[in-house]
Amino acid sequence: MRLLDAALSVVRAKGYAAASVEELCQAAGVTKGAFFHHFRSKDALAVAAAEYWSETTGALFADAPYHAHDDPLARVLGYVDFRLELIRGAPEKFTCLVGTMVQEVFQTSPAIRAACEASITGHAAHLEADIAEAMRRHRVSGTWNAKSLALHTQAVLQGAFILAKATGDPDAARDSVGHLRRYIAQLFNRPATKERST
C-alpha cells in the first residue's frame, strides 16, 4: 500500500511530527482525498504503519538463514549477526520506524505508543523463545531471564541507531551491536568470536 510505504520512508527520514499529510501524499503519489478515504487521521496512518512495519520486518526475519541452526544459541547469535548485516548505508534506511515514532509520541498518542510497543515486544518474543531454549540446552541460568535479555537486544539496537544518527556513522551502531554479541556469548560462556553452527 503506497501510503504505508510512504510513511515508512518519510517518518524514518524526518520523524513523525515533521511528516505532514501533504508530504506523505506526495511521497505516495495520492491525493489528500485518497488519504482521508483510507485513514481518518495521520495518527490512524501511523498505527497502520506500525502494524505494516511488524508484518514486513516479521517476514524478513522469518525468512532469515539463522533459523536453520540446530543449536538455539547459534540462532540467537545468528540473529545478532543478521542485525549487524542490516546496518549499512544511510540511517533512514536501516533504523526503526516504531522506535522513531514512539520516541516522539509516547505521551501524546496512546494508540501509536501501543502499536509501537506491540511491534517491539512482538519482535522480541520470537528471540525470547530461542534464548529460553538456549538456556535449557546449555544449562545456563542467572539473575536474568530470556524475556529480559530479548528486550535488552532491542534496547541496544534502538540505542545503536541513535548513535548512528548522531555521528552519521553506521559503524557506531555496529560497534554497539558487537558489544551486545560479546555479552550474549559471555552469558553462555562462549568466546566472543563468531560461533560455528553445531
Residues that bind a second copy (CB under 8 A): 13-18, 90-92, 98-100, 102-108, 113, 116-117, 120-121, 142-144, 148-149, 151-152, 154-160, 162-163, 165-168, 172-173, 175-176, 178-179, 182-183, 186-187, 192
CA distance linking residue 60 with residue 62, whole number of Å: 6
According to DSSP, residue 106 is labeled T
In terms of CB distance, is 78 or 109 closer to a second copy?
109
CB of 63 to a second copy, least distance (A): 25
What single-letter amino acid sits at 44? A
What single-letter amino acid sits at 72? P
CB of 95 to a second copy, least distance (A): 9
Residue 103 CB-density burial (10 A; 0-12 exposed, 13-18 middle, 19+ buried): middle
CB of 38 to a second copy, least distance (A): 23
In terms of CB distance, is 18 or 59 closer to a second copy?
18
**Which residue, among 108, 91, 93, 90, has the nearest Cα to 16 in the 3D structure?**
108
Q: Please, are residues 81 and 126 in contact by the beta-carbon 8 Å criterion?
A: no
In terms of CB distance, is 23 or 55 closer to a second copy?
23
In terms of CB distance, is 7 or 149 closer to a second copy?
149
**Which residue, among 161, 6, 177, has the nearest Cα to 84 in the 3D structure?**
177
CB of 121 to a second copy, least distance (A): 7
In terms of CB distance, is 15 or 34 closer to a second copy?
15
According to DSSP, residue 168 is labeled T
